[in-house]
Amino acid sequence: MYLKSLGSSLAMVLLMTPDAHAATCASLLTLGLPNTTVTLAQPVAAGAFAPPATGGGPPPQPAVFTQLPAFCRVAATLRPSIDSDIRIEVWMPLAGWNGKFQGVGNGGFAGSITYTSGSGGIERGMAEALKRGYATASTDTGHVGGTAAPFLDHPERLVDFGYRAVHEMTVAAKAMIDAFYGTGPRLSYWNGCSTGGRQGLMEAQRFPSDYDGIIAGAPANPQTRLSAWNVHVGKMAARPMHAIPPSKYPMIHRAVLNACDGRDGLQDGLIGDPAACRFDFAALECKGADAPSCLTPAQVETARTVTTPAVHSQTGELIFPGLALGTELGWATKIGGPEPSPLGTEFFKYIVYKDPSWNWRTFDLESAVAPADRLDNGTLNVTADLRAYRQRGGKLLLYHGWRDQNFSAQSTINYYKSALETVGAARTEEWVQLFLAPGVGHCGGGEGPNAFDPVTALEQWVEQGKAPGQIIATRRVDGKVTRSRPLCPYPQVAKYRGRGSIDEAASFACVAP
């Protein structure tokens, strides 16, 4: 450790003074680390950070940046392979460091540093981590821009995106923290959603010593199956006869709510457990000509496809679950355009078929999945074997919004169950918990209570041994809390006690379904 090379008297001062530094921020510019070139090392005054400009003009200036404390900002390029070009940033508080490190994840195909999580009510960016007193880091995963095009004929860059960039960032960040403060972080946490959730699971699987606690929200896993499902449902909806106009989404949503809302014993505009409800979209089929209040037979087929698990017709194998009931207001992200989501088409164009001219109209779900899985061979898809992570004492907090419009929470439930089967289901509160959020969209948003704090829950679990029995979620309108609910560890659900306001968490208890 860097501290050992210092004189004993200075070392004593550093140990007793948390905000003392073993090195100046600027001196980190010459820090020698394997496969690492430090390109920037400078102090940033409180509230003065401005993210780099992009090709589209000056970047937005979220209010969170004006609230940041002073910090040491380090940027570096990592080249663990001959074709790697991984950019990272590490931020370290100049005062008030809590002694901990938080790595933050990406979204989509990554391609940029996650400075802030933006809106959504669930904190998970570098700015949010720094405000809590963490030293923090993020990476672009080895390419620039949120597209899969850089992976074409660059297999090492795909490996970087899949798992290597996050691990290399973590190792380098801890070394920089050690050099700056004279001691490494006493605890390390990961915080990510979507791609960031998958990155967290990959860290737990491949590098179980990197993080003591991992928050994996709505993990985009398995990536090959999710990508295939994206093309599958988008291809169907791209047919003129099968397209459902977004103007019909509210009508469909009202019908689903009418059928499913009260199944949990409470009419509150939310579906507490969509998996427990069944709805046949044929009930909305037009009796005559097409109209805004009904669905044509082809549109009924589309609605069924997007909400029904995709299953192999010959083997019966689940390919990927469909969207949950209650997601109808967000269907535009999957079936609202003239072609499928690029998160699916670009995956097959640039990674699987390696053909920029590939036409998604030729896509066949059942014949595409097996070769995609073989090609991936664990680069992107995370297995449920987390035995090493559990054995080293790591804690894994999973969450997923039931109203997720990008992919169903059922995919995370399936992963959770597989992990328990592989690792052992006994005493899950010792190492893994899953929280499902009714009415909450992909990584936040939605009409349900969509703001909650998994970081504090994970900290208490790791540092105090207190597994989260519930996490309180709130919904705000014009800055005021209008509803709060407990999120419960799966398979428990929030049940109304029969008294008190249905808009207050205290009126609910977490019980077995």
Q: Which residues are catalytic?
A: 194, 404, 442
Asked if residues 211 and 189 have their Cβ atoms less than 8 Å apart, the reply is yes
Cis peptide bond upstream of 297, omega within 30: no
Quote the CA–CA distance of 428 and 31 in Å, as a whole number: 42
Quote the CA–CA distance of 327 and 445 in Å, as a whole number: 12
Quote the CA–CA distance of 408 and 415 in Å, as a whole number: 12
Quote the CA–CA distance of 83 and 60 in Å, as a whole number: 32
| Helix or strand run (H / E) with residue 471 | strand 471-477
Quote the CA–CA distance of 19 and 21 in Å, as a whole number: 6
Cis peptide bond upstream of 491, omega within 30: yes
Query: CA 502, 432, 422, 383 torsion: positive or negative?
Result: positive
Quote the CA–CA distance of 234 and 239 in Å, as a whole number: 9
| Residues 6+ positions from 314 with CB-CB distance below 8 Å | 366
CA separation (Å) from 358 to 146, 246, 341, 346, 352?
19, 28, 15, 9, 10
Q: What is the DSSP letter of 489?
A: B
Asked if residues 42 and 23 have their Cβ atoms less than 8 Å apart, the reply is no
CA separation (Å) from 293 to 270, 284, 484?
22, 8, 33
* Token pair belonging to 16: 């007793």
| Residues 6+ positions from 374 with CB-CB distance below 8 Å | none
| Residues 6+ positions from 303 with CB-CB distance below 8 Å | 244, 252, 281, 284, 295
Beta-bridge mates of residue 310: 320
Quote the CA–CA distance of 289 and 296 in Å, as a whole number: 8
Other CB atoms within 10 A of residue 91 CB? 24
